[in-house]
Amino acid sequence: MDMESNRNEDWMKLAWRNTQQKLETIKLGGGKKAIEKQRERNKLTARERISYLCDADRPFIEIGAFAGYDMYEQEGGCPAGGTVAGIGYISGRQCVIVANDQTVKAGAWFPITGKKNLRMQEIAMENKLPIIYLVDSAGVYLPMQDEIFPDKEHFGRIFRNNARMSAMGITQIAAVMGACVAGGAYLPIMSDETLMVEGNGSIFLAGAYLVKAAIGEEIDNETLGGAVTHTEISGIADYKFDTEQACLDHIKKIMNKLAAPASAGFSHIPALAPKKNPESLYSIIPEGNLKPYDMLEIIERIVDDSVFDQFKPDYGKTILCGYARIQGWAVGIVANQRLVCKNKKGEMQIGGVIYNDSADKAARFILNCNQKKIPLVFLQDVTGFMVGSRSEHSGIIKDGAKLVNAVANSVVPKITIIVGNSYGAGNYAMCGKAYDPRFIYAWPSARIAVMGGDQAAKTLAQIQVSAMKNQGKELSKEQESELLQTIKERYDKQTSPFYAASRLWVDAIIDPADTRNLIAAGIAAANHNPEIDTMRTGVFQV
């Protein structure tokens, strides 16, 4: 390995270590004292519940671990959005699991909590996966109720989705292991089966204090809505258990008896390891993602046997398209090429930029994959579409719209990995979050913004300086430099993968060496949904 590769590897591994350190803090939830209080009540933590429930020989893929990161500091923080969630296997069945973290503000729902729970339900609905709710929540976080209660994508949408999933035939199981109050009480009852832990689990629209305030009745919470009450009197719950472990064991029994899942029939054969070692992925992207590199080197470390069959290899060279297999699954790959290259006319093309010919090629390839029912994988490292008179006169907007149309109307599952830059309309054309990828992950090297940091900072600084001059205020060169640096630091923070993951623009920040496994797990999930429509495109300029 040469010196530059060593430097790249050190940079990427340092970025991943930084990510892991932040994750370790997030995994403490509300902190060690809150965890100890949980255990004093004979309760497991959310992560312990999931670990006990899931099959030990299959990985649990956490989604949204960074949700809420650095967002609610005035409120004391909301690690992982107060909810631990992801995709795992229970009794051999792949499923979605959502567990309230009672150590974080008693499991109360912040705005990001609602967004995260809706994302998990979306994953279950898109992929027809069973969903397990491990309930232990005090309900809506009242100081922020206006941001979580009334809107379309707020708290109430959860229960609407409960009803929709039931109609879709998606199994929903709720285990009430702590408080389940107010509007939240509807979630377990709208699930297929409700399990409760005696002594800790409770379901009621209003707790004992509110009941006394509202109607003057004196009653304790256990009598009001405990496990005995709801399994023996109201009939709301189906089972009660003495311990959490017994409750979780029963979920395993239920999952063990589900009918075999349907299949979309995506092509799958025995997997072959890549010939090029995935561990060497760390050394490919240049430090700071400032220099060109060959995206083929990344692809050949992700796909089976390092075999990638390119589509139109000599045309539209700033986007690579082709067929491959990942862990045995057939995939179509659309990837930005970062090498500087020449087009068919011999003109130099900047790597990472989408030109007319590359947009045209990618759109056609996406249509082909939909025709063949082959899932799509997008590898993003894009700075946007080419600008300037030559591109405008050649119809770059038309060709860009053609690509966006193809991505938007694609019906096969799409999985997006942001390995580097994801700027401007390039984010859209390469299946960013707005274009409904089944799963979207980011490497620690990812940057997501409307444009690059340097360009954006200079633009914003020029606007502010001009505004001050119009007010009769003159800045020295030193003051202008300080202003530019301040803006750049703020902008750089907003383009980081942590900023994106905290707002669920991406599902997770991942280890580059694990990319192959996560793509395969995503396709395995998508294969549970056999309902794939015929692709229809709208009106666009040809």
What's residue 454's pLDDT?
67
What's residue 264's pLDDT?
96
Helix, strand or coil for residue 417?
strand
Q: What percentage of the chain has pLDDT greater than the value 70?
A: 97
Query: DSSP labels for 320-378?
Result: EEEEEEETTEEEEEEEE--S-EE-TTS-EE-TTEE-HHHHHHHHHHHHHHHHHT--EEE
Pick the most confident of 338-347, 370-379, 395-404: 370-379
What's residue 506's pLDDT?
98
pLDDT range class, residue 542, cuts 50, 70, 90: low
E strands present in 218-307: 239-241
Q: How far is CA 475 from CA 456, 469, 490, in A?
A: 20, 8, 20
Amino acid identity of residue 163, one-letter, is A
Least confident of 145-154, 299-308, 521-530: 145-154
- Structure confidence by residue, pLDDT tens digits, 166-179: 999 999 999 999 98
Q: Rounded mean pLDDT of 406-420?
A: 97
What's residue 220's pLDDT?
86
How far, in Å, CA of 509 to CA of 273, rounded? 23
What's residue 302's pLDDT?
98
What's residue 540's pLDDT?
66
How far, in Å, CA of 203 to CA of 182, rounded? 8
The token pair at 143 is 């100081």
Chain centroid to Cα 418, Å, comes to 11
Per-residue pLDDT for 133 more than 70?
yes
The token pair at 194 is 């409700």
What's residue 456's pLDDT?
64
More confident residue, 345 or 403: 403
Least confident of 224-238, 442-456, 479-493: 479-493
Least confident of 223-227, 345-349, 443-447, 521-525: 345-349
pTM of this prediction?
A: 0.93
More confident residue, 142 or 425: 425
What's residue 457's pLDDT?
64
More confident residue, 160 or 473: 160
Q: Are 224 and 180 spatial neighbours (Cβ–Cβ below 8 Å)?
A: no
What's residue 486's pLDDT?
76
Q: Are 101 and 112 spatial neighbours (Cβ–Cβ below 8 Å)?
A: no
Dihedral sign of CA atoms 390, 391, 397, 398 in order: positive
How far, in Å, CA of 346 to CA of 531, rounded? 45
The token pair at 332 is 């179509």
The token pair at 333 is 């790959």
What's residue 150's pLDDT?
86
Task: Quote the DSSP letter at residue 147.
Answer: G
Beta bridge partners, 336, equal 319
Instruction: Calculate the average pLDDT of the chain.
Output: 92
How far, in Å, CA of 83 to CA of 95, rounded? 16
Per-residue pLDDT for 541 more than 70?
no
- Structure confidence by residue, pLDDT tens digits, 180-195: 887 678 899 999 999 9
What's residue 1's pLDDT?
61
What's residue 461's pLDDT?
67
How far, in Å, CA of 327 to CA of 319, rounded? 23
Q: How far is CA 125 from CA 120, 158, 174, 412, in A?
A: 9, 12, 17, 15
Amino acid identity of residue 461, one-letter, is A
Buried residues in 98-108 as b, exposed as e (16+ CB within 10 A): bbbbbbbbbbb
- Structure confidence by residue, pLDDT tens digits, 15-58: 999 999 999 999 999 999 999 999 999 999 999 999 999 999 99
Helix, strand or coil for residue 274?
coil
Residue 335 has phi, psi (to 5 degrees) of -140, 140
What's residue 101's pLDDT?
96
- Structure confidence by residue, pLDDT tens digits, 239-267: 999 999 999 999 999 999 999 999 999 99
Per-residue pLDDT for 513 more than 90?
yes
What's residue 360's pLDDT?
95
Q: What's the number of CA atoms in the CB half-sphere (13 Å) around residue 199?
A: 8
Spell out the alpha helix ranges (H) of 226-276.
227-228, 244-256
* Element holding 434 (H helix, E strand): none
* Element holding 290 (H helix, E strand): none
